[in-house]
Amino acid sequence: MRKWLDKTTALVLCGTLVLAACGGDDDEAAPVEPEPAAAEITPEIVGLYGTVVTAFTNIFFAALVPGTTSVPGEGGGSVEISGSDWTLNEYSPDGELIANGALSVGLDQTPIPLSGEVTLSGSHEAELILDMQLSVGADGLSATGTITINGAEFDVAEVSAAAAAAAEAAAAG
């Protein structure tokens, strides 16, 4: 592991040196962009995540039934399933939230990769980019990876932990 780290560090430093030495054709220095601030997990993000997880869990378990090609939303619309391609067409789990987009879901793989883009409207307005791995266990679904909400990237495990803590606090309070 140490050799790999040393080689990687050396390659990164060499690459940086080459890029710095080459510079641009003009003599002006390239502007330095600030590091993006860490995305903050707000109560709104936790609420949105909970809503999305509930909706996708229902779709996921319905899709496990062999031969399923369409999952209707309780509030309208549907998710059309063709192999690993899922298309959300005005899918609404509750009549208030509406989801449109396309996902790639590898139900035949372990863990299950899930990626794609979804636009939410209605009760929540958001653009989601999902890059996740799902595992099915005795406690249901668990996820790792990232979820990008309106351009802010979040670690799924961290958002999930915050959602669980919020649920516990609400149940106790």
Q: Which residue has the higher pLDDT, 21 or 124?
A: 124
- On the question of pLDDT at 106 being above 50, the answer is yes
pTM strictly above 0.75 = no
Stretch 74-91: mean pLDDT = 96
pLDDT of 9: 33
- On the question of pLDDT at 20 being above 90, the answer is no
Q: Which residue has the higher pLDDT, 27 or 61?
A: 61
Banded pLDDT at 8 (limits 50, 70, 90):
very low
pLDDT of 154: 94
Backbone angles phi, psi at 3, to 5 degrees: -60, -45
Domain ranges of the chain: 43-172
Residues 6+ apart with CB under 8 A from 73: 79, 90, 91, 92, 93
- State both tokens at 157: 């495990």
Banded pLDDT at 55 (limits 50, 70, 90):
confident
- On the question of pLDDT at 38 being above 90, the answer is no
Chain segment 140-159, per-residue pLDDT in tens: 778 899 999 999 999 999 99
In our burial notation (b when 16+ CB lie closer than 10 A, e otherwise), range 116-137 reads: bebebeeebebebbbebbbeee
In our burial notation (b when 16+ CB lie closer than 10 A, e otherwise), range 74-94 reads: ebebbbebeeeebbbeebbbe
- On the question of pLDDT at 12 being above 50, the answer is no
- How does the average pLDDT of the chain come out, rounded? 80
